[in-house]
Chains A and B, each alone.
Chain A
């Protein structure tokens, strides 16, 4: 069973607010990812990390930023939220040397008013 946790599960905020979505995993995985997903739609990779102090932008441009100071922690930050940021954000991790199985958190659903 995967041990990857996201908080908050649901967040409703006003435009212009700064928010941080937390993601932690206890599996010691090197690689972590953030995906953005609209309801029932495909997943778009927005950020990924191959290890501590390593972060890269994904295929979908995003105004969010990420950091990876510790192996187990990969938070995502929006400095000034806008209604266009309303979406579900999914965090995932993967161990080195596997065939690529991703373990996902339950997601953070963000609504910006």
Chain B
């Protein structure tokens, strides 16, 4: 089973600060996804990264896929209280059209006003 380790597990910051959270594995992934989950809701996909070294931006969020496709990072600039939530990375457990997703344990982010 391919494992995804996320760090930090918990992060509490003030509005306006920058932050980076990480998703690491000893295995190579064909792609990685980042989801955000708000309390009482299901996770929602933020981005999919496919190519090693790829950088994607979504407003104040910047996602990077490692060159070796074993790790990924999410950087948030000028965090806002609306960014509060559980950030989960996920990657396919096996190849082919019938694959499942393995999730990391997540980073619980709290942005205080």
Instruction: Give chain A's interface residues, CB within 8 Å of chain B.
Output: 31, 33, 35, 40-43, 45, 48, 50, 58-59, 90, 92, 96-97, 99-107
Question: What's the dominant secondary structure at chain A's contact region?
Answer: loop
- With A100-B33, A106-B42 known, 14 other A-B pairs at CB within 8 A are A33-B100, A35-B103, A40-B86, A40-B108, A41-B105, A42-B88, A42-B106, A43-B103, A48-B100, A59-B93, A90-B42, A99-B50, A100-B31, A101-B45
Q: Are A107 and B42 in contact (CB under 8 A)?
A: yes
A40 close to B1 (CB less than 8 A):
no
Per the bound structure, the CA–CA distance linking A40 and B40 in Å amounts to 10
On whether A100 and B103 interact (CB within 8 A), knowing A43-B88, A106-B42, the answer reads: no
- Chain A: minimal CB distance from B89 (Å): 10
Q: A40: which B residues are within 8 A, CB to CB?
A: 86, 106, 108
Q: Is the CB of A100 within 8 A of B42?
A: no
Classify chain B: how many residues form its interface, as a range.
20 to 34
State which of B41, B88, B97, B106 has its C-beta within 8 Å of the C-beta of A96: B97
Interchain residue pairs with CB less than 8 A apart (23): A40-B106, A41-B106, A42-B103, A42-B104, A43-B88, A43-B103, A58-B100, A92-B42, A96-B97, A99-B48, A100-B33, A100-B92, A100-B101, A102-B43, A102-B45, A102-B90, A103-B45, A104-B43, A104-B44, A106-B42, A107-B40, A107-B41, A107-B42
Pick the residue among A42, A43, A106 that contacts B41 (CB under 8 A): A106
A residues near B98, Cβ cutoff 8 Å: 31, 50
Q: Which of B36-54 contact A (CB under 8 A)?
A: 40-45, 48, 50
Give A51 to B96 CA distance when docked, in angstroms: 15
A96–B97 CA distance with the chains assembled, in angstroms: 7
Identify the closest chain B residue to A102 (Cβ). B101
Q: Are A59 and B1 in contact (CB under 8 A)?
A: yes
In the complex, what residues of B have CB within 8 A of residue A43's CB? 43, 88, 103
Min Cβ gap B49→A in Å is 10
* Assembly CA distance A90 to B1 (angstroms): 21
Give every chain B residue within 8 A of A96 (Cβ-Cβ): 97
